[in-house]
Each structure stands twice: as structure tokens, then as C-alpha cells.
Amino acid sequence: MSDAFDALADADVHGSDAFVVDDAHATVAFGEQTDPPGEPAAADASPEEAVRVLGTPYLLSRFEFAARESLRGRLPEGTGVVGRGASVSHLAPVAVGGRVELSTTLVGVDRPGLSFACRAERDDGTAVATGDLTFRVVDRDRFRAEVARQRE
């Protein structure tokens, strides 16, 4: 695997993606949630204050998708990546209907780990989020076998 890691360390690996926020991608700020159910964090929040904005889970999934796609064809045969760690920092809201463009950049190769820096922007160029992802390169057969053992 060392040749592949050396090649990755020397490569300019970038991913990108774009999407329009819809209700399925949104979370409720300042109001009651239905999925999963929950009350607003602010006890004095009224129902009319509720606003739906891009949620962290969906944004993180799109960051991961773009990073994984950027690795296509670059990993050793029989291997793949699994998530090891992630962080997302929201900088500005994105309303339902807003378009988001994101990018990922491979910034670190530390056998067997790969680290990505992520950025998301609205159409007007406003930065809406940054993130960091860490993947681990694994042998796919061994990984699947471990998952199968847990089902037994």
C-alpha cells in the first residue's frame, strides 16, 4: 500500500458537489422538531419563530460523498475508505431552496489515514460551513467479514 499512499500524498485530490436544500435536508432552528421529535432548546421560543435551514447530518453526508468520489481509482485494489472522524462548523444559514456548492481537498496522508478539508458556500459566495474529515483505508474483504461476524 505504500506506493498508493505516496502517490496520494503527491496528488492534487479535490472533490466537489452542489445541491439545493429541500425539506429533507433541513433541520428546525428555534422550533419543535418532528424527526427526530424534540422541543426547542430555548424555552421561550414560540412556534412562529421556527425556521428550516440546512442541517448538519445532510451537509456532512455531502462532504463525505465528495471526498470519497475524489478518491475513486486512487486506492489500492481491494481497499476502500471508512469514516474515522468528522467535524463541521456552520458559518451562515442556508434556507430551504438555497443552493450550496461544496469542495473537499485532501490535506493529509498518514498511513492508513486520509484527511480532508471541506468548504461549503451559497450561490452568492458566502461561506456557510467548513469541515474536516478523516478516513481510514481498509481491506474491504476483512472489513465486510468483521461486519458479518457481528450479525452472527
Closest CA relative to residue 81, chosen from 93, 72, 89: 72
pLDDT band at 15 (very low <50, low <70, confident <90, very high): very high
pLDDT in tens, 107-151: 999 989 999 999 999 999 999 999 999 999 999 999 999 999 998
Sorting pLDDT into bands at 50, 70 and 90, what band is 85? very high
What domains can you pick out in the chain, each with its CATH number? Answer: 2-21+55-151 (3.10.129.10)
Terminal CA-to-CA distance of the chain, rounded, Å? 31
Q: Which of 78, 75, 62, 80 is nearest to 133 (CA)?
A: 62
Q: Say what the pLDDT of residue 35 is.
A: 66
pLDDT digits (tens, 9 = 90+) for 44-72: 777 778 888 999 999 999 999 999 999 99
Percent share of the chain, pLDDT over 90 = 71
Cβ neighbors of 25 (< 8 A, separation 6 or more) are 19, 54, 55, 58, 59, 96
